[in-house]
Chains A and B, each alone.
Chain A
Amino acid sequence: MVSDISEWAASVQQDTTASEEEVAKWKLQIGEVTTIGFQHGIGGLTKPTRLLLAGQSKNDQKSVQLAAIDYGRSIPATIATVAVSRGIEDHDGKRIGFACKRKVTSKRLPSNQRAGLFKLVETVKKNEGRLLILSGNGLFHVLGGRRCSRSLSSATTTGPVLQGTLTVLNLRI
């Protein structure tokens, strides 16, 4: 996982006008989020799955993209107990949005979970970037500084749309 992020960052570093320190900050934030994703990925599975990453930078469009996917419990399932206790029962999209809020964690000790999703959303909003998270039967989207969520469940689907989590991130450089 770390080497995948480093490869992505090295490619970004070649094209971007961002400082080395700024790219290091992105690495930290993406490291936080993909670690959470990986932990979602292994939760509830007998064998850990690998987190898959794909990224690129486009200097002419002044942007970088990163996509990460795991095939685990999903964010809505991971956060379900906490979400229900706080009255967030509507749909998976809202549960993902709930997981992206400050101080929300599925961990036993809240102080040990560094709110990676919250920090990622803040980074994207500040950068005027885009973020899309598809997990379970929910979609969460940050665009133009606004947060949107929707349900993807349908009457014809028996299982979740995605058993796992797909995160797509677009940042301006």
Chain B
Amino acid sequence: MTVIDGNRMIGTGFPPDEGVRLAVNLLSKTDLDWTELTIDLTRGDAAMLISAFFNSFLQTIYEQATERFDEARKIQWTLKYQFQNESVREWIYDFEPAAVH
């Protein structure tokens, strides 16, 4: 299993923009195996780790590397509190990518 410190891959901007940044940074690591990947966000700010952050992360993966989208859905996330972990699981499960026009 590979564990990545997600907080080092994002900034402090608008949450949807930071979700994009995380996706782009992850995609740039071309040798990274996503099949057993955990992203550790326990140091992340709760105000940052909202639905818009994860939705824009998944949407960016879908737009830039559609073939990796299913793997992205299976990424494990570690957050500080149980309510955050439960929320993220729900958001990831519910997410539907928007078609790119």
A145 is an interface residue with CB less than 8 A from chain B:
no
B37 is an interface residue with CB less than 8 A from chain A:
no
19 other contacts beyond A32-B51, A32-B52, A35-B15, with CB at 8 A cut-off? A1-B47, A2-B13, A3-B12, A6-B47, A9-B46, A9-B47, A21-B81, A24-B46, A24-B80, A25-B81, A28-B49, A28-B50, A31-B46, A35-B52, A38-B14, A108-B98, A111-B95, A111-B96, A114-B51
Distance between Cα atoms of A2 and B52 in the complex (Å): 13
Distance between Cα atoms of A109 and B13 in the complex (Å): 24
Distance between Cα atoms of A30 and B47 in the complex (Å): 7
Q: Is the CB of B47 within 8 A of A2?
A: yes
B6 is an interface residue with CB less than 8 A from chain A:
no
Q: Is the CB of A27 within 8 A of B12?
A: no
Contact of A2 among B45, B51, B87, B95 (CB under 8 A): B45
What's the minimum C-beta distance from A36 to chain B, rounded to whole angstroms?
8
CB-CB < 8 A to B45: which residues of A?
A: 2, 5-6, 27
A112 is an interface residue with CB less than 8 A from chain B:
yes
Q: Is the CB of B84 within 8 A of A112?
A: no
Dominant SS among interface residues on chain B? loop
Q: Write the B61-101 contact mask toward A (1 if CB under 8 angstroms, else 0).
A: 00000000000000000001101100100010011101000
Distance between Cα atoms of A21 and B87 in the complex (Å): 14
Q: Is the CB of A25 within 8 A of B83?
A: yes
B55 is an interface residue with CB less than 8 A from chain A:
yes
Distance between Cα atoms of A9 and B48 in the complex (Å): 13
What's the minimum C-beta distance from A85 to chain B, rounded to whole angstroms?
20
Q: Is the CB of A1 within 8 A of B14?
A: yes
